[in-house]
């Protein structure tokens, strides 16, 4: 029994964190950026000088600054507001120290907006690109995030992740008890939308590869059960109803299967579930607790947490052969594994000097790096471009989300306006 107590710390941590009230959009507080961020100017992008319902330039500026790699020149400091390349006087921007300039204009094409935008390298006077994005007036934020993605990739060489979304769980007091909500928002916290509200805990949201569905654990039936829900229609389906533990669902890269944890045979084991045939296949068989499965990018293996070595550590299971390999050895506690898109960088919760932090381990060299110094860090989720990760932590006595780059050079907090936010899951696209 003592052997299992260490791994159960994860569950205890999660339950304790539901004691704080919660709700609402999160805000963003950059706490650490690069020492020499790229200076960029985003000229106001308008429709013939008329403002739109959303400020495209401000959205792009906020996106780029949130990456920690860019410093935007304030609009009030700009000497001119060019909309096209022919309107640009590079001297104006060199005086301000801008290294890059984004200009653009909006044209109304019969109820659809078309934005033509350009990225100019100020120092060399080179036009990096001119591109077009279009959409409805309701899609202004989508178009703005698309511009941010294009600018970010052109300058850094890394695909942007500003057009992605984040799922998370909030808790809030109602009539003397806690209520729980499963939420989805843009990666910047805007356009928050509630998918589910329950008087019972909601845990472990995970995205489908096409970002159209979520699976998650809900206690609404009186026991933990796994549900599948479509975002567009809200249609939901209960996938498991076994006695005992039904938890930690994870979608395979091809979208055909789930990995999950069931204790229906008496001990927590990892199973796969074929979403077409509705068949469960047990893939681990050990007297220890095996939990928190996640797929490798090629879909051929699972990484998971187990205390089969005496303490919680991370293992890799080759599905075809059943071969199990231990991946972590540093420290007495490593759990909640996630792999970056490169398949080489392992992200996990690592106990360091009695505190739980987010760490990475290079699976080729074995090098371990602790990324965070906040308190009670958990639930890491990696951006689809592999540049950043989100995790849950504590700020004072309340739970917040936080983000850190995988090189630990950039950090920011995303506290909820009114309370506690937990269990983040970054969408794949």
pLDDT higher than threshold 90 for residue 177: no
What pLDDT is attached to residue 4?
Answer: 44
Alpha helices in 136-200 (DSSP H): 140-156
What pLDDT is attached to residue 13?
Answer: 36
Please give the Cα distance from 297 to 237 (Å, whole number). 26
- Asked whether residue 29 is assigned to any structural domain, the reply reads no
What pLDDT is attached to residue 20?
Answer: 34
The reply to whether 106 and 229 lie within a common domain is no
pLDDT higher than threshold 50 for residue 21: no
Q: Are 408 and 183 in contact (CB under 8 A)?
A: no
The reply to whether 270 and 403 lie within a common domain is yes
User: Which carries the bigger pLDDT value, residue 24 or residue 341?
Assistant: 341
What pLDDT is attached to residue 418?
Answer: 60
| Residue among 44, 37, 43, 52 nearest 152 (CA) | 37
- Asked whether residue 120 is assigned to any structural domain, the reply reads yes
The reply to whether 302 and 375 lie within a common domain is yes
Query: What integer is the mean pLDDT of 183-190?
Result: 93
Residue-wise pLDDT for 272-289, tens only, equals 999 999 999 999 999 999
What is the number of structural domains in the chain? 2
| Residue among 123, 138, 173 nearest 22 (CA) | 173
- Asked whether residue 50 is assigned to any structural domain, the reply reads yes
Q: Which residue among 103, 129, 156 closes a domain?
A: 156
Please give the Cα distance from 242 to 264 (Å, whole number). 6
Pairing of strands 324-326, 202-207: unpaired
- Asked whether residue 30 is assigned to any structural domain, the reply reads no
The reply to whether 77 and 110 lie within a common domain is yes
Residue-wise pLDDT for 302-326, tens only, equals 999 999 999 999 999 999 999 999 9
What pLDDT is attached to residue 33?
Answer: 62
The reply to whether 303 and 377 lie within a common domain is yes
pLDDT higher than threshold 70 for residue 126: yes
The CATH number given to whatever domain includes residue 126 is 3.40.50.10070
Q: Which two tokens stand for residue 195?
A: 């998918």
Q: Which residue among 156, 171, 186 closes a domain?
A: 156
The reply to whether 187 and 321 lie within a common domain is yes
The reply to whether 239 and 355 lie within a common domain is yes
For 124, residues 6+ apart whose C-beta sits below 8 A from its C-beta are none
Query: What integer is the mean pLDDT of 200-207?
Result: 97
Judged on CB neighbours under 10 Å (0-12, 13-18, 19+), 341 is: middle
For 262, residues 6+ apart whose C-beta sits below 8 A from its C-beta are 240, 242, 244, 245, 246, 268, 269, 271, 280
What pLDDT is attached to residue 352?
Answer: 78
Q: Is 4 helix (H, G, I), strand (E, B) or coil?
A: helix
Query: What integer is the mean pLDDT of 400-424?
Result: 83
pLDDT higher than threshold 90 for residue 415: no
- The secondary structure element, H or E, covering residue 90 is helix 90-95
Residue 181 domain boundaries: 2-24+163-426
The reply to whether 244 and 196 lie within a common domain is yes
Residue-wise pLDDT for 354-395, tens only, equals 889 999 999 999 999 999 988 789 999 999 999 999 999 988
The reply to whether 47 and 17 lie within a common domain is no
What pLDDT is attached to residue 29?
Answer: 62
* Torsions phi, psi for 287 (to 5 deg): -70, -10
Lowest mean pLDDT segment, chosen from 19-23, 84-88, 324-328: 19-23
The CATH number given to whatever domain includes residue 207 is 2.120.10.30
Q: Which residue among 95, 130, 156 closes a domain?
A: 156
What pLDDT is attached to residue 354?
Answer: 84
Residue-wise pLDDT for 28-61, tens only, equals 665 666 678 999 999 999 988 888 899 999 999 9
Provide the mean pLDDT of the chain: 90
Please give the Cα distance from 82 to 91 (Å, whole number). 13
């Amino acid at each position: 029994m003592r052997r299992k107590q260490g791994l159960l710390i994860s569950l205890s941590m999660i339950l304790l964190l539901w004691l704080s009230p919660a709700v609402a959009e999160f805000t963003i507080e950059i706490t650490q950026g690069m020492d020499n961020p790229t200076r960029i100017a985003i000229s106001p992008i308008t429709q013939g000088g008329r403002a739109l319902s959303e400020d495209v330039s401000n959205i792009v500026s906020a996106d780029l600054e949130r990456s920690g790699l860019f410093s935007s020149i304030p609009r009030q400091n700009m000497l001119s507001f060019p909309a096209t390349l022919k309107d640009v006087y590079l001297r104006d921007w060199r005086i301000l120290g801008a290294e890059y300039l984004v200009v653009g204009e909006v044209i109304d094409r019969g109820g659809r907006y078309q934005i033509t935008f350009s990225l100019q390298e100020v120092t060399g006077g080179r036009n990096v690109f001119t591109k077009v994005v279009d959409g409805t007036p309701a899609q202004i934020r989508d178009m703005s995030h698309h511009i941010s993605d294009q600018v970010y990739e052109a300058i850094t060489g890394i695909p942007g992740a500003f057009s992605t979304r984040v799922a998370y769980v909030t808790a809030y007091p109602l009539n003397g008890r806690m209520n729980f909500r499963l939420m989805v928002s843009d990666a910047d916290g805007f356009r928050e939308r509630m998918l589910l509200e329950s008087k019972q805990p909601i845990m472990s949201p995970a995205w489908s590869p096409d970002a159209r569905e979520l699976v998650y654990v809900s206690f609404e039936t009186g026991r933990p059960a796994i549900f599948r829900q479509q975002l567009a229609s809200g249609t939901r389906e209960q996938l498991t109803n076994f006695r005992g533990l039904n938890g930690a669902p994870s979608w395979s890269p091809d979208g055909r299967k789930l990995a999950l944890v069931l204790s229906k045979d008496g001990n927590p084991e990892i199973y796969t579930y074929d979403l077409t045939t509705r068949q469960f296949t047990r893939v681990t068989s050990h007297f220890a607790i095996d939990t928190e499965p996640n797929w490798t990018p090629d879909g051929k293996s699972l990484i998971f947490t187990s205390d089969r070595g005496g303490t919680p550590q991370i293992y890799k299971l080759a599905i075809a052969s059943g071969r199990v390999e231990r991946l972590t050895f540093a420290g007495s506690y490593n759990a909640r594994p996630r792999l970056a898109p490169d398949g080489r960088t392992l992200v996990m919760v690592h106990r360091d000097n009695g505190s739980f932090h987010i760490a990475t381990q290079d699976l080729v060299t074995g090098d371990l790096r602790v990324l965070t110094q906040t308190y009670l860090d958990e639930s890491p989720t990696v951006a689809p471009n592999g540049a950043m990760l989100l995790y849950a932590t504590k700020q004072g006595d309340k739970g917040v989300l936080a983000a850190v780059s995988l090189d630990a050079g950039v950090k920011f907090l995303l506290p909820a306006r009114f309370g506690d936010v937990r269990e983040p899951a970054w969408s794949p696209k």
